[in-house]
Amino acid sequence: MSNHKNVKYRFRTHQFRVSIQLLITLCCLYQSAHSHSDITQSIERLTQEIMHDSDNAVLYFQRAELYRRQGKWSASENDFALAEQYGYNKQTLKFSQAQLLIDAGRSSAALPYLNELLRINPNFTKALILRAKIPERDTHDAISDLDRSIALLKLPSPDLYIDRAKLQIKSGSKFETMITGLTQGIDRLGPLASLVGYGVDQCESKGEFRQGLSMMNMLPTRIKEQANWQARYGKFYYNLRDTEKSRTHFLIALKAIEKLSASRRNSRAILKLKKEIQSFLQSSDYSQQNINQKDL
């Protein structure tokens, strides 16, 4: 094996160990601390352990993470410093310190930590995603971070596509570019209601009703048959002046509402939806349709 291959192998092995260490640490923390009281008890337990093992970097790191979740920024920062002093893994430590600074409202101070991490390992997806969230970062650079994260991950979160779309809107990108990005997410992850819903919302805000209908058509039939989606079809066709299709979808929505359980049917959200549908159907635009009042 050549020297180049040796270096490459050692680097990958090191990255694997780092990932495993971070995963184990975070799993231990989240399994033992589901509530504020659990976190407090865990901090007390770690404090006792530190009293008997005062140079254990892992214990300081774990306590720092718990302090961060409690919002005790100074205590967390002090423990991270002690973890570093006693030799805790630098990559994991820098990432957590950056997260702390962002949580504490000092996001600009987190940028150098993340830049350093990504200089060493450009494929550190968690660091790319975190850096993209920093408000002070150039919007186009943040979009590039999310582009790279999405490309690197085997199964990106739908939130990454939505966050990228939000940044594209903020940056003044073309509407078609934003929709194309969301459609890529749908092609890769499937027609998730969160992705389709966000895209439809943007289409509605821009008056792109035909595009919105195309996106809604991506949804599985069982989702499209729900009252809220049938109502959206009705609204979009209404805005396209296709009163026949609009009326059809509104009536399907009303029938879907009637099939709901009494508690669901009388919920505030459903009652509001029903009122909106009836308001559309009673408008003058439908006057020539001779709507039967029993349909309402």
Count the helix, strand and coil residues of the chain and give each as a percent rounded to the nearest 5. Answer: 80, 0, 20
CB atoms within 10 A of CB 68: 22
Predicted confidence at residue 13, as pLDDT, reads: 43
CB contact burial 231-252 (16+ within 10 A = b; e otherwise): bbbbbbbbeeeebeebbebbbb
Q: Can you tell me the distance from the alpha carbon of 233 to that of 213, in angstroms, rounded to the nearest whole number? A: 7
Look up the CATH architecture of domain 1-120: Alpha Horseshoe (1.25)
Cβ proximity of 273 and 257 under 8 Å: yes
One digit per residue, the tens of pLDDT, for the chain of length 296 reads 455 444 444 444 444 444 545 555 555 555 544 567 799 999 999 999 999 999 999 999 999 999 999 999 999 999 999 999 999 999 999 999 999 999 999 999 999 999 999 999 999 999 999 999 999 999 999 999 999 999 999 999 999 999 999 999 999 999 999 999 999 999 999 999 999 999 999 999 999 999 999 999 999 999 999 999 999 999 999 999 999 999 999 999 999 999 999 999 999 999 999 999 999 998 866 655 544 444 44
Which token pair is 185?
């997410």
Q: What angle do CA 167, 70, 106 make, to 5 degrees?
A: 40
Closest CA to 95 of 111, 106, 79: 111
Query: Residue ranges per domain, the chain?
Result: 1-120, 227-296
Q: What is the pLDDT of residue 94?
A: 94
Of the candidates 110, 55, 109, the one whose C-alpha atom is nearest the C-alpha of residue 82 is: 55
SS3 106: coil
pLDDT value at residue 294: 46
pLDDT at 37: 79
Model-level pTM?
A: 0.78
Neighbours of 211 (CB within 10 A): 19
| CB-CB contact of 257 with 231 (8 Å) | no
